[in-house]
Amino acid sequence: MLKNLFCVLVLLFSSHSWSRSFPEGIKTGSAYEFYLNKYQSKNNSKVFAVSADGAWSAHWGDNLDAISSKALTKCEKSTNEKGSCRLVDINGEAQTALINIEPYRESFHPSPDHIPTNLRSLKAANTYIEHYIPAKGNKAFAVSKSRAFGYMIDQAVSKQVAIDVALVNCRRYNKDFEDIFPCHVAIVNDEVQGETLTLDELNELNKKKKSSVEKNHFLIKDLILNYDLNKFLDYGNSRGHRALVTDMEHKNWFMATRYLDEATAIEVALTNCLQKQKSCNLILKGEKWSQYAKSRIPTLKAEQDAHIAKRDKEIEESKKEQSLTEINVKDLEFNEAHHGVFTLVAPKDNANPVFNLMSQIAITEDKFMLINDNKVIQQTPYLLNGEQLEVDHNGKILSATFSEDFKKLKMQSGTFERSNL
């Protein structure tokens, strides 16, 4: 029994010897990758054709003669050396000598000495190394400052065809930004121009580091009321070059992250801000505060300290009022647009258990209330700034956002909608 099992295992592993070898005639990284990762996994009839200059084609199906004809025809259309296409594999059996992959691995997967920064983003640079560099023949890589990119590496018949296809692929992912940050060709074939990064520098940018930025979040005015702190911390912990920009009142902010160079990150953040605001200020580039931000630190910290002191005082006062006599919701007065009763309609599955009681709430002139069976069971003061609401719930500060018409309220426990009493 064990002997038979051993024989089966030997057969299984020997049938996958292709992972260490390939038929003579395969000359490009894209051909080898396809042969290794896709062609070999096909169980029906299959053929692999190559030409003298490296063009290739593969087909599979039920009729061996038909797929052989298709493979050779497509190969001939792609090659500059007409009449040189031949089948190097039929049904998984090499028709030429097998070559060990190890001596050729570097030529199929070369490690670049320099990576052009005009690829803009970390993802584009990593794709350039993994897929673009190994490919042979005519190819092109197109990018946008929005971080969208596209490329053509599949044996294009000419440089222009490679350029056209790369631009089409880039624009497909750049629809929302094509007017602001249009796609352009960064690389054609292996022609690298402009500034570059070393592989070590790229690896350093790819590392996700714990940032010290969040320790200084007091820098931004009214951070507690006007900003999503988690997003701000995401900025601090993001990879690559990055920049953070706000409008003059510090009520809207825009960030650009995961870029290969600082100048592009700053340009993208400022441009996005200026699309919606009349004027904008650079607050952070990487972890360095701008000169404008440094000049604002004393004022902003004093403003936030005063805000926190006021909030803490109101929280203490509200705790003295927690012993409530039951108040009927129908007796409450709702005079402002944000006043009313709101019911939880879209709870979040991962909500913190502290919010379990919050299925219905009421907001009046000066109180945020929890409701159960039309009775107020808990109330506390709140702060409102525009559409942003801040409230203390059992010692935990909660932030919430109203919709523009004040009919919906988004909280950490889910989305609430205005109810009719």
Q: What is residue 300's predicted lDDT score, i.e. its pLDDT?
A: 61
pLDDT score of 219 = 47
Regarding whether 90 and 136 lie in a shared domain, the answer is no
Domain boundary among 294, 310, 336: 294
**Mean pLDDT, rounded, for 268-287:** 86
> Looking at the domain assignment, is residue 249 inside a domain?
yes
Instruction: Tell me the percentage of the chain whose pLDDT exceeds 90.
Output: 22
Q: State the burial class of residue 2 (Cβ atoms within 10 Å of its Cβ: 0-12, 13-18, 19+).
A: exposed
The reported pLDDT for the residue numbered 319 is 60
Dist CA 168 CA 142 (whole Å): 9
Residue 313 inside a domain? The answer is no
24 part of a folded domain: yes
Q: How many CA atoms lie within 13 A of 33 on its CB side?
A: 15
pLDDT, mean of residues 14-41: 69
Averaged pLDDT for residues 332-336: 87
Report the pLDDT value the prediction gives residue 112, as an integer from 0 to 100. 67
Q: Please identify, among 175, 205, 235, the residue that sits at the C-terminal boundary of a domain.
A: 205
The per-residue pLDDT for range 384-403, each reduced to its tens digit, is 888 888 887 666 778 889 99
Lowest mean pLDDT among 45-49, 308-312, 318-322, 390-394: 318-322
Which distant-in-sequence residues (6+ apart) come within 8 Å of 328 by Cβ?
374, 375, 376
Lowest average pLDDT, out of 7-16, 108-117, 230-239, 368-377, goes to 7-16
Q: Is pLDDT of 327 > 60?
A: yes
Asked whether residue 412 is domain-assigned, the answer is: yes
Query: What is the reported pLDDT for 68?
Result: 95
Q: What is the distance between the alpha carbons of residues 400 and 365, in angstroms, rounded to a whole number?
A: 17
199 pLDDT more than 70: yes
Mean pLDDT across 203-224: 55
Question: Which is more confidently placed, 324 or 74?
Answer: 74
Q: Which residue has the higher pLDDT, 78 or 109?
A: 78
Please report the pLDDT score of residue 354 as a whole number: 47
Residue of 161 and 9 predicted with greater confidence = 161
H helix and E strand count, the chain: 11, 25
Check residue 211 and give its pLDDT: 53
**Which range has highest mean pLDDT (40-49, 194-203, 283-292, 357-366)?**
40-49
User: How many structural domains comprise the chain?
Assistant: 4
Tell me the residue range of the domain where 98 lies: 11-104
- pLDDT band for 184, please (50, 70, 90 cuts): very high
Domain match, 201 and 212 both:
no
pTM over the 0.95 mark: no
Average pLDDT over residues 247-265: 84
Q: pLDDT class for 161, splitting at 50, 70, 90?
A: confident
- Single out the residue of 185, 201, 194, 214 nearest to residue 240, CA to CA: 201
Looking at the fold, whether 194 and 114 belong to one and the same domain comes out as: yes
